Amino acid sequence: MNAIKLSKTDCKNCYKCVRHCPVKAIRIKDQQAQIIEDMCIVCGTCLKICPQNAKYIRSDIGKVKEFISQGFTVVASLAPSFIALSDNPKRLIGAIKKLGFSAVEETAAGARLVSQKYKEIVEARPGENVISTACPTINYLIQTYYPEVVGNMAEVVSPMIAHGKMIKKRLGMDARVIFIGPCVAKKHESEEPQCEGFVDAVLTYDELYQWFEEENIDISQCREAELDNEEPGSSRFYPMPGGVLMSMGLDREIQKTMSIDGIDECMDILEYLSSSKGLKGAFLEMNACRGGCLNGSGCNKLKKGILEERRKLIEFAVKSRAANKNKGDEIKLDKVFSGKLPDAKMPTEDEIRGILRKIGKTGKEKEFNCGACGYNSCREKAIAVYQGKAELYMCLPYMKERAESISNIIISNTPNVIMAINEDFEIQEFNKSAEKMFGLSRADIIGKKAYDYFDVYEFICLMESGESLLSKKISFDNYGIRTQATIVRLNEHGLILGIFKDITEEEKQKEKDFKVKNESIKLAQDVIDKQMYVAQQIASLLGETTAETKVSLSKLKDIMLKSEES
């Protein structure tokens, strides 16, 4: 189980981890970085360089707390680089014991045994190159990427495992050994089949200080305490470059020695060893971290500067007395290393060219090899795409060119006017539709003050209020133009963008329609008024006629009645 974890929600698809991973053990899938476990050498580079802190170290604090709560004998194996953590190392030891540890011993005791074993191997294999195996990251690097060099590895466990074996031998397998140090890869190493059971948990220095904070432990207020094992002598030099060689006491006139720190430097040497027979009979001390373990990926607390940290380590180591050299000889330190290259199918030349063509790289001149995707060349990235380690459109120049092309097409061909000004009212964008609408040349107007050409009242209002205008009618009276406008602020670019739709003809047509409507209404009203007048006249005439008829009929009635009476 990999000690380095990824927080997907924090990963921002920047490819920085891909760029810096020395073995390209990062896969990008669904725009998220993933660690390819069978390729990872647990160097912690991705932890250090991730700008979003999307990678984090698996914490073993809870596991150690459980050991303590269950009543186990819990022993801390403290890496010798601890001396650089505090101005008062004895108070630091006291603080660790205050967490509940039964004892605090120095891992350098195991390093002393490892150095003795190295020296025996060198003496037994004259003329052969021997590579130290104290650094687990270098061990993973060789086994995974330089299997032809595996035969040169010293078949010895690391000081951490050696010390764990010593403690288990003395206290029994029920004792719990907790390594505390600067190395993330130690978490992975402790779980290897050949090492499992000798170190029960690994805490980085960062985890240790996190635990101190959780328990409100102030180191400066803790009582001083001593380490619970014998001083290991020169093995305390292990955390610095050349420390292994110093602890071995090799005669440089007899034996060729070389100390290499930094993954890139180690890879250069391994490349040389893989392809050349020129180097023979050398002992090579290799450390993945530049500056040695004092610069490990799990020790952000070591921030006083590498020179100051090294000075403190040297002073501490020089004053150390050598323990009984024969003590611990009964501990088995053998470890078998084997190599296997990652199973990665390689594409054909036609397949590589086909992948490149999909992102516009139709010829060598289109292969910029900028490294923005994290790979050293476009070709290398195409291979990664074929192997499922990279996504096709991780090419930033291509995506930028594509986005700009699409944007330019839209801006150039949209019938709407697009105009952008900066906070100094200087015109930054003026598209073809704007040129056509206002009769102004883009080349002449870009960079000029907008208020020399247009009424910028709405732009000023937006600058002051910050509130966007959506679908508001704005007229450019000096140009006889009416528009439907949307004006928004682009804070990240320091611009105000206006998009204007020409509605001049629509508005004129509306005015014409309104005029016709009003005229129709007036005409209709005139007709109604005339009809009402006629109706009133007819009604008046009918009224007079009806009255006269009534009078005449009444007279006729009276005459007829009188006639009957007589």
Q: Which run of H or of E encompasses 198?
A: none
Burial class (CB in 10 A: 0-12, 13-18, 19+), 110: buried
Q: Is residue 10 part of a domain?
A: no
200 shares its domain with 288:
yes
Residue 265: phi and psi, rounded to 5, are: -65, -40
CA distances from 236 to 262, 284, 326 (A): 20, 19, 18
Residue 407 has a pLDDT of: 66
Residue 48 has a pLDDT of: 86
Choosing from 275, 301, 318, the residue where a domain stops is 318
Q: Give the pair of three-digit tokens for residue 530.
A: 């005339």
Number of domains comprising the chain: 3
- Residue 10 CB partners (closer than 8 Å, separation 6+): 52, 53, 54
In whole angstroms, give the CA distance from residue 255 to residue 238. Answer: 19
| Domain housing 358 | 349-401
207 shares its domain with 242:
yes
Q: Is residue 194 part of a domain?
A: yes
68 shares its domain with 180:
yes
263 shares its domain with 178:
yes
Residues written for the chain: 566
Q: Is residue 540 part of a domain?
A: no
Q: Which run of H or of E encompasses 28?
A: strand 26-29
Q: Is residue 41 part of a domain?
A: no
Radius of gyration in angstroms for the set of CA atoms belonging to the chain, rounded to a whole number: 44
276 shares its domain with 424:
no
Q: Is residue 538 part of a domain?
A: no
In whole angstroms, give the CA distance from residue 332 to residue 337. Answer: 15
DSSP class per residue in 272-289:
HHHH-----SEEEEEESS
187 shares its domain with 238:
yes
Choosing from 502, 526, 561, the residue where a domain stops is 502
Cβ(129)–Cβ(274) below 8 Å: no
- Residue 106 CB partners (closer than 8 Å, separation 6+): 77, 78, 80, 227, 229, 231, 232, 236
Q: Is residue 1 part of a domain?
A: no
pLDDT by residue, tens only, the chain of 566 residues: 578 887 777 787 788 888 899 999 998 888 888 888 889 999 999 888 888 888 888 899 999 999 999 999 999 999 999 998 888 999 999 999 999 999 999 999 999 999 999 999 998 998 899 999 999 999 999 999 999 999 999 999 999 999 999 999 999 999 999 999 999 999 999 999 999 899 999 999 999 999 999 999 999 999 999 999 888 888 999 999 999 999 987 655 456 889 999 999 999 999 999 887 778 889 999 999 998 998 888 777 555 677 888 888 888 888 776 665 555 557 899 999 998 877 778 888 888 899 988 888 888 888 888 888 888 888 888 888 888 888 887 887 777 666 666 667 777 788 899 999 998 899 998 998 999 989 999 888 998 999 999 988 888 887 778 788 888 888 998 899 999 989 998 887 788 889 999 998 888 888 888 888 888 788 878 778 788 887 788 877 777 777 777 777 677 777 777 766 65
Alpha-helix runs per DSSP H in 70-135: 89-98, 108-124
Q: At what angle do helices 136-145 and 263-275 cross, to 10 degrees?
A: 40
Choosing from 302, 318, 334, the residue where a domain stops is 318
Cβ(384)–Cβ(419) below 8 Å: no
119 shares its domain with 161:
yes
450 shares its domain with 362:
no
Residue 403 has a pLDDT of: 65
CATH number at residue 428: 3.30.450.20
Q: Is residue 289 part of a domain?
A: yes
* Contacts of 48-53 spanning 24+ positions with Cβ under 8 A: 48/297, 49/16, 49/17, 49/20, 50/16, 50/17, 51/12, 51/14, 51/16, 52/10, 52/11, 52/12, 52/14, 53/7, 53/10
Residue 253 has a pLDDT of: 46
216 shares its domain with 113:
yes
In whole angstroms, give the CA distance from residue 155 to residue 234. Answer: 22
Half-sphere exposure of 505 (CA within 13 A, CB side): 3
CATH number at residue 360: 1.10.15
Q: Is residue 521 part of a domain?
A: no
Residue 307: phi and psi, rounded to 5, are: -70, -45
- CB atoms inside a 10 Å sphere around CB 31: 12
359 shares its domain with 241:
no
Which residue, 223, 288, 220, is CA-closest to 260?
288
- Return the ∠ at Cα 136 (arms to 130 and 139), rounded to 5°: 45
Is the alpha carbon torsion for 554, 557, 562, 563 positive or negative?
Answer: positive
Site of tokens 């040349």: 441
473 shares its domain with 361:
no
158 shares its domain with 282:
yes
Residue 328 has a pLDDT of: 54
